[in-house]
Amino acid sequence: MIPRHQKLLFGILLLASLVMGVTLWQLRERAHKRLIAGQDSAPTRAPEVAPAEQATLLVANDSDSSMRTQIHSLPLPADPGSRARAVLGKLLDLYAAPDAAHPVPGGGSSVLQVFLLPVPESAASAAASVKPKSGDSSSAEFRANTTGAAPREQPQTGPQLAVVNLTGSFAASHPSGIEAETLTVLSICGTLHANQPRITQVRFLVDGQTRATLAGHADLTRTYLAGDAVPAEGTQP
Amino acid sequence: MPARLEIRTFLHAFDRVFLVRLLFWALLSCVAAAQPAPPAPQARFVVVLDAAHGGDDAGGRLANNQLEKSFTLALSVRLRSLLGARGIQVVTTRESDVGVEPEKRAEIANHAQAQACLSLHASENGLGVYLFASSLSPALHPSDKDLSLGTPVQPTRFAAWKTAQTAWVTRSLALEGVLHSALQHAGMSVTLGRTSLPVVDSMSCPAVAVEIAPEMGPDKKVAAGLDDLDYQARVAEALAAALVEWRSEAHQP
């Protein structure tokens, strides 16, 4: 025979357990909602419809290893970095098309970001004397600039370094070969310079990291001089 | 006075000995000049063959599931045999399916102090043979002359590893021209270009990257795939002929 006070104590404990369970569930739901609210990726500003402008693309052609200039009309944002990304997106969309002369899968979404940084005067003069500029000074500067809360104020004139951040899937699916990879790299550099002549140097990242080569051949650790990638009409790189 | 006489006698004797020695040396010099000079030793000529990729790095995937690393190794072995038969010393960066870091490949080439370095590649993209020299800006080579002074340019003691090729770009372009002529002479379609390959950019020798794609026929369509043994043999023969030509050019005064 169970004494009455023990039955009462058991009932109270059971009730307390149920109340605590409900409270914990509610707290969990609240925390979950708070977490989702913190990661909200919805745009804070309504998207603006940019007016269509003419963009110059240097489109590679595998059949004769050439790069030809093509003019396309597409909406371009006012921000130079977004503008560069939009132009490169169009270029890679052309390469991803079924009848592309330089087929590369991936398309416009393969360009994650394009960061524009002022080229230090010392670096500009060094690049003028020796084309490739080894080392990670530019990527270090890029990291410092992106991790900091306030971006450095950029001068309105002077040469710029474009840091093109590509997706890992783009690099992984890129056709392997010196010719194919060189054409891709040079057409990206040439297209950036053709649309924004202030971009004189280009560096590449893949998923935000430096990578030795694009698909086993073309060097992605060096700084490319964008102006050198712009050839005469139909010439080989 | 006898002491003075002794000195005179001694001086006369010294003069005689000196004259005899002088005549002897003059005779020896004449005999030596009359003999033909010994032949100058044959200048050293070394070629470095770099079979690209290897080990975990398979490179591109070619027709019939062939891997680029296997193709380049087979071509390197074939070319080494052809060059060896022509008396050319060959250094290879790999002899089996092993991974070799780009720095190590350049190190092997730079230690060999080679007169020609070929980095061998293959691709299913494109048609014919592609020849690439480094896209680095050419720097003045020690053999070049300062145009303003007419004197040889002094070599720098140290070269940056990643841009060591700058001093050799001019020679690399000349080597590219010789390879171009030989391949065209063998009836192949050749495309010349410049590129930035980490291995080639670190080499301190005349260096060219050779990328072999399927052969282009007269109708601009594929005439022979990369798995065609005859095509492989013709490419290797043409490259060997070019290097023999390059050797003869290198030995010209």
Q: Give residue-wise pLDDT tens across range B83-101.
A: 999 999 999 999 999 999 9
Write down the mean pLDDT value for chain A. 81
pLDDT-above-70 percentage for chain A: 76
What is the average per-residue pLDDT within A205-223?
93
Judge whether A46 lies within some domain: no
Judge whether B239 lies within some domain: yes
- For A168, counting Cβ atoms within 10 Å of its Cβ (0-12 exposed, 13-18 middle, 19+ buried), the class is middle
B140 CA: distance to closest CA in chain A (Å): 12
Q: Which residue has the higher pLDDT, A121 or B58?
A: B58
Query: Residues in chain A whose beta carbon is closer than 8 A to a beta carbon of chain B?
Result: 62-63, 65, 130-132, 134, 175-180, 182, 212-213, 215-219, 221-222, 224, 228, 236-237
pTM of the model: 0.72
Question: Which residues of chain B fall below pLDDT 50?
Answer: 1, 38-39, 145-154
Q: Are residues A127 and A34 in the same domain?
A: no
**What's the pLDDT band for A182 if we cut at 50, 70, 90?**
very high
Is it the case that residue A171 has pLDDT exceeding 70?
yes
Look at chain B and report how many structural domains it folds into.
1
Q: Are residues A176 and A218 in the same domain?
A: yes
B213 CA: distance to closest CA in chain A (Å): 9
Judge whether A47 lies within some domain: no
Q: Are residues A131 and A157 in the same domain?
A: yes
Tally of CB atoms within 10 A around A182: 27
Digit-coded pLDDT (tens) for A96-116 = 999 899 999 999 999 999 999
Judge whether B22 lies within some domain: no
Radius of gyration of chain A (CA): 27
pLDDT of res. B182? 96
Identify the closest residue of chain A to B161 by CA–CA distance: A134
Both structure tokens of B191: 């495309």
Q: Are residues A18 and A131 in the same domain?
A: no
Q: How many CA atoms lie within 13 A of A155 on its CB side?
A: 11
Least CB-CB distance to A178: which of B124, B166, B197?
B197
What is the average per-residue pLDDT within A146-172?
72
Least CB-CB distance to B126: which of A131, A134, A179?
A179
Asked if B86 contacts B47 with a C-beta cutoff of 8 angstroms, the reply is no
Is it the case that residue A140 has pLDDT exceeding 50?
no
Overall size of chain A counted in residues: 237
> Domain span at residue B232?
46-251
Judge whether B11 lies within some domain: no
Query: CA-CA distance, B237 to B243, in Å (whole number)?
Result: 10
CB pairs under 8 A between A and B: 94
Query: Could you tell me the CATH number of the domain that includes residue B120?
Result: 3.40.630.40
**What's the pLDDT band for A153 if we cut at 50, 70, 90?**
very low
pLDDT of res. A72? 94
pLDDT of res. A134? 37
pLDDT of res. A145? 35
Asked if B245 contacts B184 with a C-beta cutoff of 8 angstroms, the reply is no
Identify any residues that bridge with B46 across adjacent strands, giving them in sequence order: B89
A63 CA: distance to closest CA in chain B (Å): 6
**What's the pLDDT band for A44 if we cut at 50, 70, 90?**
low
Taking contacts as CB-CB distances below 8 angstroms, the residues of chain B near A179 are: 123, 125-126, 130, 191, 193, 211, 213
Residue the block writes with tokens 């690209």: B52
Look at chain A and report how many structural domains it folds into.
2
Both structure tokens of B2: 């006898």
Judge whether A172 lies within some domain: yes
Judge whether B37 lies within some domain: no
> Domain span at residue A25?
1-39
pLDDT of res. B41? 53
pLDDT of res. A137? 36
Supply φ then ψ for residue B123, to 5 degrees.
-155, 150
